[in-house]
Amino acid sequence: MKKIILLGNKNKKRVRETIAELEPLFRKRAHVSIIDISDEGETDGLSADLAFVFGGDGAILAACRKLNGKQIPMIGVHLGKFGFLAELTPQEVSQTLEKIFAGKYVISQRMLLACQVIRSKQVIKETSGLNDAVISRSSLSRLISIKLYINGKEVTTYSSDGLIISTPSGSTAHSLS
């Protein structure tokens, strides 16, 4: 592990303080970059061996969008309200780093949805999702017609007020229900 990224929302005081407190631990072992997930800047040229995401599940989902499909393993450090995806506490980071640098870790693969909204044969929105993708009607419409394609093949058409597609990681909302 030569390059580690620390990601978090710098607008949140607890995230800023925790990253500042733990940053020296990371710098002892690797080159460190800190990325603000609330910043809309691009990360095209970014590469790393590992990313630590500070916050809750929302921070991990934002980090996935920020890294835009880059194959960088991520570890969540739970500072938020919900921690289904963020497993570590700040107190466990030092011990976890020792295990990682000793080669005692397993990387689990997660499915990432790549989603496009197409209207009149034009892509109007593209995004990705670790847990789910939600397509819903505007407040003025009653029903919408949604054609579902998977890997470029039409699967079915729905007439509904929306559609939620979930990966095996599931959605936080589903976990709470």
Per-residue model confidence (pLDDT) at position 176: 62
Q: Are strands 3-8 and 50-55 parallel, antiparallel or unpaired?
A: parallel
Per-residue model confidence (pLDDT) at position 173: 56
Q: Which of 75, 101, 127 is the last residue of a domain?
A: 101
Cα atoms found within 13 Å of the Cα of residue 7, Cβ hemisphere only: 29
Residues 86 and 37 in one domain: yes
Listed as ranges, residues in the chain with pLDDT below 50 are: none
Is residue 57 flagged as an active site residue?
A: yes
Residues 77 and 121 in one domain: no
Residues 132 and 95 in one domain: no
- Both tokens of residue 55? 């916050």
In a domain? residue 106: no
Residues 91 and 65 in one domain: yes
Per-residue model confidence (pLDDT) at position 145: 86
Residues forming a β-bridge with 78 = 55
Q: Other C-beta atoms within 10 Å of 86: how many?
A: 22
Task: Tell me the three state secondary structure of residue 160.
Answer: strand
Which residues form the domain of 148?
113-176
Cα–Cα distance for residue pair 38/54, rounded to 1 Å: 12
Q: Label residues 43-64 b or e (16+ Cβ within 10 Å = b).
A: beebebebbbbbbbbbbbbbbb
pLDDT in tens, 66-114: 887 788 999 999 997 767 788 899 999 999 999 999 999 998 888 778 8
Q: Which of 101, 126, 149 is the last residue of a domain?
A: 101
Per-residue model confidence (pLDDT) at position 177: 56
Per-residue model confidence (pLDDT) at position 26: 96
Per-residue model confidence (pLDDT) at position 9: 95
In a domain? residue 108: no
**pTM of the complete model:** 0.80
User: Residue 29 in contact with residue 57, Cβ under 8 Å?
Assistant: no
Per-residue model confidence (pLDDT) at position 83: 73
Q: Which of 36, 39, 49, 57 is flagged as catalytic?
A: 57
Q: Which long-range contacts (CB under 8 A, 24 or more apart) does 74-78 make?
A: 74/50, 75/50, 75/51, 76/52, 77/18, 77/52, 77/53
